[in-house]
Every structure is written in C-alpha cells, then in structure tokens.
C-alpha cells in the first residue's frame, strides 16, 4: 500500500536572497528589458527605470522614519505605484500589508488596527468608494497610523502625495539605503496578506522574503518564463495571485508585467494582449469565460499567447478547451494553493493533457512536501482515498499576525500546514481537490462533494456556471442546492435540470433545490463566496440549522 505522500524533488536550488537583492540582480542583467507597462496610466518602465524609481521611493520611506518590521499598508487597485511600493518596502525592511480594494469602513479599520499599520499608501477612490472620506472617518481611531500617502499629485488634508514622498527621498543618501538593506535577512517578514474572506473574519498570513520570492520563482519556472515573456495581469496585486504569482514570477525571470486596467475588464485584457504581444495571461475561470464570451472577442489578435495560469476555482473542461484553442494558450496551467503557503503548492505542467489540467491541480511544486490525511486521526491515507491535504516546506507562512492560537490550529508541531481542503492523490502523484472540509455535504450519511456535481452540471449546454452548497434538512441532515447561471439567451426550469441528472449521477446527488441567478457573490479576486449563497437560500426557504421547513 502506497500512502498519499509526495516530496517535490528539484535540481534547482532555492533563492537565498531578499526581494530587493533580486531586483538589484535583475536590473543589472536585464536593465533594458521591459519590466512594467501600466496601460490605463500610460506608464512604461524598463528594469533599469523601475529600479531607479523603487530606490527613490525606498529612500522616501526611510525619510518618513519607516523602520525595519514597521507595517506599511497599501490600499489601491492595480497601478504602477503598487508594484513600485512592493519592491521599495522590501528594500526598506518594512512589512507590506495588502489591503483589499473592496474593503469598506469596518473591514478597513479591522485590517489597519490588527496589523498596527503606521504608514498607509492609498488611492483616492476605487469605483464608487471614496477612500479619502473613508480614511478621514477611520484615521482618528487608529493610534499607530501616523502618515497617509495618497497616490497622485493633489494634496489631501491629513496626508502627503506620492510626489512628496519621492522628494523627501532626496534627503536620504544611497549609502543609508544600502546600510539598511545589508541588515536584512531573507527569512525576515516582508508581507501580511489577509485571507480572502470566503469564510468570515480575515486573518493576516505573515510571509517572508524567502516564502514569496521562491514561490514566484518556481511558479515562473513551471511556466518556462524567460526575459521574452510578457504577462497580462488582470488579477489584483493585493492578492497573492497578483503580487507573488504575477510580480515575483516576472521579477525572478526578467519578464514584463502588463496591467490592462485598474481592475478586471474583459475587453481591456484582449486589447492589452494584442497591443503588447503578451505571451501569458492570468485569471480565475470567470475572467476567461468573460473574455471568451465578449462580443468583440473575434476582433482581437491574441495569437502571441502561449501560457498562463488559471486558479482560484475549478475550471470546467469546455472552458479549458476553449482557452487552449480559441485563446491560443496550449501551455496554460492550473495552480492550487492558499495565501498561507505563499501561495502555490501544486501546478500542472504546460504539456499535461487537458484531462489532467481540469480534473487535478497537477503535481507538487519543487521543494515542497504534501500528504493527505484522515482528518480525525491525522494518519496518511492510501492513494486513491480522500482526506485533508497538508503541505510543508519553504512556502509555509511564518504564522498569522498577532494570532498564535489560529497559527497553532493551522500549522501543527511538525510544521504541516493543514489546508482544510479535501483531496485525493492518484497513483501517478497528481492530486485532485474534491472540496472543502467545511463545504462537504453529508446527506443521509453519504459524503457528497459539491465539485463533483458542479463538474457534471457544467456539461449541460445551457449552463454557464454553477455553484453547489449544502442546506440544513431535518430528514437527511443536509440537502443539496445548486445555484445556476445560464448562458446568455438561454432559459431553463429546475425540473429540466433535474431531469438531465437522473440517468447520469446517483439519485442522492441530484439537487433538491435549484436557483437561477445572473451573478454570484464574489471576493475581489473572483472567488465565489459560497457561504453567502448558503445564507441566502437558508433565509429564502425559512430554514435553520437542524430544522427543515
């Protein structure tokens, strides 16, 4: 019997350097190569120019009195300044705190207070949110917050501008910055990323230079990045998909980042790929679907693409086929991980068959261990049996910021990170995610994995997307509810959907409740908030835990 355990063997060593040292190295060898193109801002930087701007901002931070391990937040949609700040804060020895651009007052106050932010870099607004007004309401409650830096050139009461930060840096010598950098270690904390909020209160995953620089590097290695690659990045920088898998995969390979817009816009992505001749495109499945279904899709020439990453949610096989064929991405990969593991633990290879890219999350990343265990006992299960996926290695976070109890619950004494995901390891080492421990539906004693039902319903010609959740039921404990988004122009009934299931899946897996919707509640990164769907259907049906209608 072979147990569900793997170690990602590699002949490629880990990078033993800080993010700032990596930028110095890449700028010295790839100085004339494109590093960053922010199309909505009309800004372009080579690595030499980016390095120069990063150093100006790093010196400005020192002039403000930023000390090693100080928490400095950034609250902004995608822009050039976000990436510049990421690298500058790493050089200054600060801990960058990513603030979700979608946060409102309560969430903002919580993140700023919990992490003890002393300096905040902020946009002035995003969509219909007035950041300046929100900060005026929150700032007086925060004892640690002493400086707000607003992007742009116009002054705001109670803050300084990005331009002023640059000018303040002129009072700090290059040697002072070098002295600061020389004292930094690659195991130092460099980033706090708050969990995405699909399950409730976010926790601050604290990550080191070593964690995220290497994870970006090995993600790029699997994508076979070189200095010729140009990554179209519509996913948010605030999330690890953007600031690790995007920016640090690019940095470690001398590749370019192309920002199509401040947030996801399907046509802006297509335009950016065409105009900048991008070779790689990132997104969650809903982003790829939006581009494929865009009325102007056929007008854009995007044949420069070859690869990319689809992550954040399962990919229906038909979507994968269309991405490969219609978007010219034969080497697109699937990645799996979590914020707490920097984030990627598993990734498919560019030449994996389509079946492996949609039914599994690929193989374990280099220099990472994984095992699948029986949740009650912690014992590794035989291959082919489901259990909780655990990972260990360089990528596991330092811990949750100021939350030792939550850290101890997530990382055991042997440094295994317990993901909370249910998975099955095949005999060939590929791993299939079958659901979340908390999402698994137990109906009449049967364990039901929502993803299995979702994958089947995705094959229905009228269905564009579907999410399955469990709802309380007196007789069976739980029942199944499917939330369905139909393709444009299609109509269907609940009975029609159930009829399509009857000869294809077991009767106990057929959804009792079916609801149609035009959109799902999402995090800013495109993850569906299933707990909100569950809350909505429970309220609609008048159910409560342990009691049916």
What is the reported pLDDT for 56?
98
Token pair, residue 537, equals 């259907």
Q: What CA–CA distances, in Å, run from 70 to 146, 149, 189?
A: 12, 15, 10
Helical spans, DSSP H, in 412-493: 450-457
Cα–Cα–Cα angle for 476, 480, 483, rounded to 5 degrees: 160
Q: What is the set of domains in the chain, with CATH numbers? A: 17-28+46-185 (3.40.50.980), 440-541 (3.30.300.30)
What is the reported pLDDT for 106?
87
What is the reported pLDDT for 524?
64
Q: What is the 3-state secondary structure (H, E, C) of 469-487?
A: EEEEECCCEEEEEEEEEEC
Cα–Cα distance for residue pair 190/199, rounded to 1 Å:
25
Listed as ranges, residues in the chain with pLDDT below 70 are 196-201, 524-525, 544-549
Question: How is residue 101 annotated by DSSP?
Answer: T
Helical spans, DSSP H, in 30-100: 47-63, 80-92
Nearest to 309 by CA among 235, 215, 255: 235
Cα–Cα distance for residue pair 145/148, rounded to 1 Å:
8
């Amino acid at each position: 019997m072979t147990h569900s355990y793997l170690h990602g063997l590699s002949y490629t060593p880990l990078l033993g350097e800080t993010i700032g040292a990596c930028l110095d190295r890449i700028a010295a060898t790839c100085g004339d190569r494109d590093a960053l193109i922010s199309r909505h801002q009309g800004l372009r930087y080579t690595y030499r120019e980016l390095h120069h701007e990063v150093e100006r901002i790093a010196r400005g931070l020192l002039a403000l009195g930023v000390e090693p391990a100080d928490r400095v937040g950034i609250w902004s949609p995608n822009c050039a300044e976000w990436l510049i700040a990421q690298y500058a804060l790493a050089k200054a020895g600060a801990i960058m705190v990513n603030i979700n651009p979608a946060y409102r007052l309560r969430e903002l106050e919580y993140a700023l207070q919990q992490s003890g932010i002393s300096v905040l870099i902020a946009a002035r607004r995003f969509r219909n949110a007035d950041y300046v007004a929100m900060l005026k309401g929150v700032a007086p409650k925060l004892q640690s917050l002493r400086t707000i830096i607003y992007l742009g050139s116009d002054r705001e009461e109670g803050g300084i501008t990005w331009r002023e930060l640059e000018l303040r840096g002129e009072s700090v010598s290059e040697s002072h910055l070098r002295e600061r950098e020389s004292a930094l270690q690659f195991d130092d904390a460099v980033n706090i990323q708050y969990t995405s909020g699909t399950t409730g209160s976010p926790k601050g995953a604290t990550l080191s230079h070593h964690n995220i620089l290497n994870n970006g590097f090995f993600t790029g290695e699997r994508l076979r990045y070189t200095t010729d690659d140009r990554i179209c990045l519509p996913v948010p920088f605030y999330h690890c998909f953007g600031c690790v898998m995007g920016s640090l995969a690019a940095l470690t390979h001398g590749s370019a980042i192309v920002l199509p817009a401040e947030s996801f816009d399907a046509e802006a992505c297509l335009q950016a790929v065409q105009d900048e001749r991008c070779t790689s495109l990132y997104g969650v499945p809903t982003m790829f679907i939006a581009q494929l279904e865009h009325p102007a899709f056929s007008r854009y020439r995007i044949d420069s693409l070859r690869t990319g990453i689809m992550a954040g949610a399962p990919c229906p096989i038909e979507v994968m086929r269309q991405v490969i064929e219609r978007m010219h991405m034969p080497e697109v990969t699937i990645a799996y991980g979590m914020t707490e593991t920097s984030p990627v633990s598993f990734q498919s290879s560019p030449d994996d068959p389509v079946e492996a890219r949609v039914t599994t999350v690929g193989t374990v990343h280099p220099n990472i261990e994984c095992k699948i265990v029986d949740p009650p006992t912690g014992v590794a299960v035989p291959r082919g049996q489901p259990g909780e996926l655990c990972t260990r290695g360089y990528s596991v976070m330092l811990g949750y910021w100021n939350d030792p109890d939550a850290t101890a619950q997530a990382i055991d004494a042997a440094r295994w990170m317990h993901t909370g995901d249910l998975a099955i390891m095949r005999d060939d080492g590929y791993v299939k995610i079958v659901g979340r421990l908390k999402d698994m539906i137990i109906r009449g004693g049967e364990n039901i994995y929502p993803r299995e039902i979702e994958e089947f319903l995705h094959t229905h010609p009228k269905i564009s997307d579907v999410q399955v959740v469990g709802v309380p039921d007196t007789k069976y404990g739980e029942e199944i509810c499917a939330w369905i988004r139909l393709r444009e122009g299609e109509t269907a009934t609940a009975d029609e959907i159930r009829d399509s299931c009857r000869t294809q899946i077991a009767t106990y897996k057929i959804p009792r409740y079916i609801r149609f919707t035009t959109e799902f509640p999402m995090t800013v990164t495109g993850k569906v908030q299933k707990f909100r769907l569950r809350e909505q259907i429970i309220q609609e049906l008048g159910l409560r835990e342990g009691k049916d209608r």
